[in-house]
Amino acid sequence: MPLFDNEMTRIDNKQRRRLLHYMGLSTLALMLPMPIAALARSVEIPVTDKGLLISKLADQTGIPRAEIESILADAQFIPSIIDRITAPYESRPYAEYRPLFVTPGMDKAGREYLAEQRTVFSDIEKKYQVEAEVVAAILGLETRFGRNKGNDRILDSLYTLASGYPRRSDFFLRELGEFLLLSKEEKLDPEKVQGSYAGAFGATQFIPSSFRAYAVDEDGDGKRDVWNSVPDIIGSVANYFHHHGWEHGRPVAFWLHGQKKAYNGKIRARAEAGFNTWTPLADLRHKLPKLPAIWQDDDKVALIEMQTEHGLRIALIHYNFYVITRWNRSYNYAMATTEVASMFGCKTCHVV
């Protein structure tokens, strides 16, 4: 099943081709600064020697060098991976990003998934205190509820990025080491695991370090199976959000009425500063329009600005919005998650 359903017909063909070439799976907490595209496309061979990489991995992981050499012997350097990671679709205006996910097709698929797994979602929400609809929204954006886990070999993705993407080579070298370790821990064949071009895998699209830190064995079978076990998949996402400070029953975001230009200088300045302006809502309430009753004076809030189909708008965001950006740093991703969760019936996620 393709990543996007029939709603994609509303996006012009040129934009669709551009999207499918660059976007891949909407994956991880990786909003990477874009380097010079021409430089990225010129990379045809690794920048870092494989022998040096193996030495660093052996020091990092404690895995014998000979074992790492054997695993990496078949690792392929794939230049197109460099191209793809330098053009994340999340960097585009929300007006372009939103129609890819906030669709009737996503709504239908998500409600069906929530109904099919009602008992699992209910148990997980009680245990981890994260709304079922929020977890479902993440799984919808990431892999269409496990249907699109990615076709890139993780070993190739991480080797390519660790050896040929100098801007973040240290990060991806660490992730490659984490991948080798989790493969041993979970008894996986590292040469067969598939996922995204950025090294994320499973229905959750965890990167290796996130898997090792937050994946859970919810079904009790001795494995943390984020590929096929629905309890493990749902529980792992909820556990991630729980550990990053999600507040159950609290709001996420609310669009302020009107465009940015309608607000005074202080409000606009706060919106431009984004996450640098956290404050109790009580300090801002008198400057804002009337808010839904769910918003409380002791809520930790900030303001952000986003380019929507209605122009540049300001949104009031709760700390829960920030928690979503710990999964993926993009404002676009966090707002789309919020809106999709609202579509699925999350009462605290209503943004308009």
- For every residue of 105-148, DSSP letters joined together read HHHHHHHHHHHHTHHHHHHHHHHH---HHHHHHHHHHHHTTTT-
Do 199 and 175 touch, CB atoms closer than 8 A?
yes
For tokens 């090792």, the residue is: 212
- For every residue of 182-215, DSSP letters joined together read HHHHTT--TTT-EE-TTS-BTTTTB-HHHHHHH-
Task: Residue 345: count other Cβ atoms within 10 Å of its Cβ.
Answer: 15
Catalytic residue numbers, as ranges: 142
Do 140 and 100 touch, CB atoms closer than 8 A?
no
Rounded Cα–Cα distance for residues 139 and 128 (Å) = 16
Question: Is residue 105 packed enough to be buried (19+ CB in 10 Å), middle (13-18) or exposed (0-12)?
Answer: middle
Question: Is residue 309 packed enough to be buried (19+ CB in 10 Å), middle (13-18) or exposed (0-12)?
Answer: exposed
By residue count, the chain amounts to 352
